[in-house]
């Protein structure tokens, strides 16, 4: 079986402090192939640091979810609406 392909929505604190370092320990099992953040620079930085060479970067999570090759999505966005 090939590696599980992961997509990440929200590349902020919990992603960088917990999820990315933890997932990095399981490189034989999974690979990070897509990163999304509304602040796209965060997705770009995370993709460079933790993603596969051809990892995709998005600012709109709808676009990431269109990629049917992704097996698992981690949703790491705030659970409250901070825009109002
Ligand atoms: N940071 C921690 O140590 C910690 C610990 C336990 C639980 N959590 C939980 O994790 C979740 C995320 O917290 P955090 O601290 O990582 O917040 P954060 O603000 O550091 O990161 C969230 C990221 O999501 C991005 N984002 C917001 N809306 C988005 C959208 N619609 N599409 C794409 N990206 C979007 C933001 O730009 C930001 O980069 C929260 O529910 C929080 O309660 C965090």
CATH superfamily of 4-66: NAD(P)-binding Rossmann-like Domain (3.40.50.720)
Which tokens hold the place of 47? 């993709």
According to the model, what pLDDT value does residue 84 have? Answer: 59
Q: Mutate which of 7, 8, 10, 80 to test ligand 1's pocket (most atoms within 8 Å of Cβ)?
A: 10
The pTM of the full predicted model, rounded to 2 decimals, is 0.95
Instruction: Find out whether the beta carbon of 83 lies less than 6 Å from any atom of ligand 1.
Output: no
According to the model, what pLDDT value does residue 80 have? Answer: 84
Instruction: Find out whether the beta carbon of 73 lies less than 6 Å from any atom of ligand 1.
Output: no
Each domain of the chain, given as residue ranges in start order, spans 4-66
According to the model, what pLDDT value does residue 11 have? Answer: 98
**Nearest 5°: CA angle at 37, between 59 and 39?**
85
Instruction: Find out whether the beta carbon of 24 lies less than 6 Å from any atom of ligand 1.
Output: no
* Separation of alpha carbons 2 and 41, rounded Å: 29
Residue located nearest, by CA, to atom 40 of ligand 1: 78
Only one residue has tokens 């999304």, namely 36
- pLDDT string in tens for the chain (84-residue length): 799 999 999 999 999 999 999 999 999 999 999 999 999 999 999 999 999 999 999 999 999 999 999 999 999 999 887 665
Do 69 and 5 form a contact (C-beta atoms < 8 A)?
yes
According to the model, what pLDDT value does residue 1 have? Answer: 76
């Amino acid at each position: 079986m090939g590696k599980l392909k992961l997509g990440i929505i929200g590349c902020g604190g919990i992603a960088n402090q917990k999820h990315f370092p933890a997932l990095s320990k399981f490189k034989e099992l999974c690979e990070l192939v897509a990163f999304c953040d509304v602040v796209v620079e965060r997705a770009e930085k995370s993709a460079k640091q933790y993603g596969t060479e051809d990892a995709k970067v998005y600012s709109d999570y709808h676009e990431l979810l269109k990629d049917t090759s992704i097996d698992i999505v981690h949703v790491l966005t705030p659970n409250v609406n901070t825009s109002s």
